[in-house]
Structure 1
């Protein structure tokens, strides 16, 4: 069954052939519908689209009539498909495929980019392609740089309006920060300080968040590497160690 025009799809109502006989395992028509699939595509070729539903569990006794199918995709054509090309077939299946449908209803908004009652609400602006679930308004995918059910959050590593600013690589977790304020989460890499870890340690300090004090026993008192705290140029007489923290012992 092809050719049904649909812009944004949410659900299908499929009504199989109707007979006066009860729809159960004694009904001769049920075997022809087992194993059916429904696709949605922008062309009349199902291979160009996405699979919305494939029956792998129904039996002649359990297949409902009608069948309601929810499909969170968008496209132009709804394609009902069934085949019998790979025997042996499951128990109850017919040997030939027949399409005997009474009705296929497609429920969705007539124009893309809307959802809700009477399709009166616009989809979130960062939904990929402008498409969203016509009931909940959640996005099927997000535009570049956004995440979240409504694509309202920046991906990790970005912040600010339109998510175009990069978090500092000097954050304790490099490139990761608050997506609104850009503040680093908890700490900075050694040698940096500030809410966004944008400032190098001032003279005389070093380490994570610059909380370490350079040793006054460095050769140049209070001057050291801002990352490691190692003294520049060695130690004053009588001291040793990379930070000049150890007193030398002299033999008499």
Structure 2
């Protein structure tokens, strides 16, 4: 209310975390204009918080804070309200100075609301609307705030007196009601992070699918580890990785047969998806052609004068029947 005209002394200067220069010219303080009867400043906390204490650093012009500092008189008589709206009348009076003098007023000052009130807005207010004023008070009202710090419950606690502990599975809970507004640790869900992920899911937000666990109920809800191992054809802690090429089955310990395309050995049951190399047959291509046959799909017939031919190329590896010679 009543910002100083044509100066960069806006309200945000009071919450910029800087207090090294407590004069207007350091760019760290908000300064209201002259000759006003009411001065008001507020900060929006973004949501309702339990207010544990409030820190206020008033303007000093970098001079010693004492009765002779010209700004002590302006600070006297200030009030602080906690409200859920931008209007102080909708809120609760946290503090009103009625006891300090220019000799006793501290700066900075830390205020604790008597009942640790909760609200979204903290409102600094001062007025000079009802003279005569106590001795030492300025004639006009000002807000010349160089820093206002609003502190809620320390991390991990909530409730009116900040004595209740947040659930340990929270990523930081709401200081008013303990709700886990910032989410849960991996493996947990719910408003208070008290529920494990549903079966088949794990991780942050419980939105990651479990892998090919042998028992889906044994998928660890935190990191997705399959506690009792993987289904046939998969390996790794989360059972999301197919067996390496050339292996298949439970624990990926089975070796693929003579697949026509080695890459097409199915990692789960070892089936050769594009058929077998010449000389082999069966789903796994581990069986040599039947006696008397050879070649691709075991469709070629050995020459009848062989005493048994090679299953791959039909050469008479075992020799010829009586009266015949040669390899074919």
TM tier, smaller: 0.3 to 0.5
Query: What TM-score do you get using the length of structure 1 for normalisation?
Result: 0.46
Larger radius of gyration: 2
Instruction: Compute the TM-score of the two structures, normalised by the length of structure 2.
Output: 0.35
Q: Highest relative contact order (Cα 8 Å, sep 6+), 1 or 2?
A: 1
